[in-house]
Chain A
């Protein structure tokens, strides 16, 4: 998907003539490690603040409350809970989607924050707040170190 190109500076090229500007966003210090774990080990990590004990998911370099550097990394597993969700009928241009997408905020037990992602293998009418879900990773060879290395989250029995 073209909108992922901009996170990879190696793929940027110089062309003569008229070209729209592109941006290369770095993943950041914490982000690089987070996405390497997803890409190489299919693991979702959090970062723990030694002062207040909060475990940030996704991990951050610093605690936004204590302002301490976060140095302890913990594996938070691949299972979480749907905190809230929406069924989207529109794409980011405001155009109608062919098939509605389900997006949810997924929280991981004992952690702070959460991950927003698609839900799959479930019909919109069967999704509930509080439902347990698990990350479904793309095959190793297709993973590129982006949030879409997780294909979607699917419902699981407790």
Chain B
């Protein structure tokens, strides 16, 4: 794999805060808390960190323009090489990818990767903070909302494959159940398919329990070059593949029923990691699930199953923690919460803990050696994928 990057890069520590609405801590304080936890696990101090990468989504959430600069001290970046990356909801998995190239390139031996979001600052509801992301000419004058553009996509996906809402609701049931075992989770719940189907209709076919919550939180990982990682731990988790891709800016120009851009990102990451048969070679996956249908949509885009097959695998229990292909053992965004960039990073942390056998009650039953984390963002058009091995 010499053709990709110069050096092998390991994750050697991870940390995260509680995911909650209206946390008392500032964004900076959240970054610091998660970063301190990750450094402690890695056995490093801030002075050992050579560079910092920050991932955080629209400035409008925290309500501080130039959020990267604002959060820098909490992220431990003072007097260090520092950059912010931002690709919408895809940021959480793209941030460790940016950290990876800092180290793989040979420029730095250690890199702190920090992801933060504080969505509860925006009143009365962060929904309006999304308003300025839409096209000012074609979309905003119609009163566009974030939920209805997803509703249009979900409906098309259901229509093409003949999928019923009952099948999609099973994802919400599974993930909220998984979150009961996550100490940081915001919405751990034991619910039924009927609960989802009876919840408030927001934009048909999207209902209240199909959606992840508004959250505050931070999640952090420590990356190190091979020679440093081997000195510090017997259990490094290697980043063996990375991929990212953006599709057309106009979501009217996309298929909607299938996320081709996720497939492109996955192909890039699989090629780099030498993975030929994803369903056989991926032991555990954290796929982006801000809505329940997105877990299914993304499993298909990641080629973990055939198009239209994900609902059946979910019904058969294949994606449960004790199944053949555990998906979102953390509880995902639906259960743990969705502080945008931090939520994607939480997935990378979860794969790290799963591959180290440190996930406690969330540990998947099979012997997991290879894991995948994926996030999705911008206007339903961006895929970021990372492959990790123990």
Using a CB–CB distance below 8 Å, which chain A residues touch chain B? 1, 3-4, 6-7, 23, 25, 27-28, 31, 58, 64, 83-94, 101, 103-105, 112-118, 124, 129, 146-148
Contact = CB atoms under 8 A, between A and B. Distances in A.
Contacts of A89: 201-204
B152 interface: yes
A88 to B, nearest CB: 4
B4 interface: no
B146 to A, nearest CB: 9
A156 B152 CA distance: 21
Interface residues of B, number: 35
Contacts of A25: 136-137
B155 interface: yes
Nearest to B153: A84
15 contacts: A7-B141, A25-B136, A25-B137, A58-B138, A83-B156, A84-B159, A85-B155, A86-B204, A86-B205, A89-B202, A92-B127, A93-B128, A104-B152, A105-B252, A114-B252
B70 interface: no
B203 A113 contact: no
B63 to A, nearest CB: 14
A92 B204 contact: no
Interface in B102-159: 124-125, 127-128, 131, 136-145, 147-148, 151-153, 155-156, 159
B178 to A, nearest CB: 27
B136 A6 contact: yes
Given A113-B253, A129-B155, A91 B143 contact: yes
Nearest to A23: B136
A28 B249 CA distance: 16
Given A87-B203, A92-B131, A93-B127, A148 B155 contact: no
